[in-house]
Amino acid sequence: MQQQGFAVAGAVVKLSAEEEPLVQSAKEAAKALGIECATLNAEALAAQGAPPVDARLSALLTAADKLGIQYIATGHFAQVETGADGISHIYPPEDPAQDESDALAALPQDILARLILPLGSFTPEDVQEMAADFNV
């Protein structure tokens, strides 16, 4: 994202205490990339029974709105494209074995219009190679 000219800030959404290793891993990766990483606590949303993707995106969008951030990016293996008519659609990633598009397919247009899915055009092996290149 930085290489594409975006100003990048990191955030990890924590849904439960058991996710603390995930939080630490995300913070270490952000540090290696030279970006800040905030922890967004969405345990209350998760406790209310919200599906994990909904709770995570809700927390990310709320934080983005408070900070005046227009777009959010996630690590889902899917692609989002906006047509000439302004309607955004979710598509499977390049690697069909990693397809997470179903988890995002029901998202409303206001979220899809703000969503960037940078991993959708890569295989997991590509992502691992890029991570190694960035010492992450």
What is the DSSP annotation of 56-124?
Answer: HHHHHHHHHHHHT---EE---S-EEEE-TTS-EEEE--SSGGG--HHHHTT--HHHHTTEE-TTTTS-H
Domain boundary among 71, 91, 126: 71
The number of domains in the chain is: 2
* Domain boundaries, position 82: 74-136
Residues 128 and 65 placed together within one structural domain of the fold: no
Confidence (pLDDT) at 55: 87
pTM strictly above 0.85: no
Domain boundary among 71, 91, 109: 71
Tokens 């309607």 — which residue? 87
| Radius of gyration of the chain, Cα coordinates, nearest whole angstrom | 15
Question: Measured at the alpha carbon of residue 43, what is the angle toward residues 68 and 18, in degrees to the nearest 5?
Answer: 120
Domain boundary among 15, 38, 71: 71
Residues 5 and 67 placed together within one structural domain of the fold: yes
Q: Do β-strands 79-82 and 88-91 pair in parallel, antiparallel, or remain unpaired?
A: antiparallel
Residue 5's region, left for phi above 0, alpha for psi from -120 to 50, else beta, is left
Residues 60 and 78 placed together within one structural domain of the fold: no
Confidence (pLDDT) at 46: 82
Residues 135 and 81 placed together within one structural domain of the fold: yes
Residues 63 and 80 placed together within one structural domain of the fold: no
Percent of the chain with pLDDT over 90: 68
The stretches in the chain having pLDDT less than 50 are none
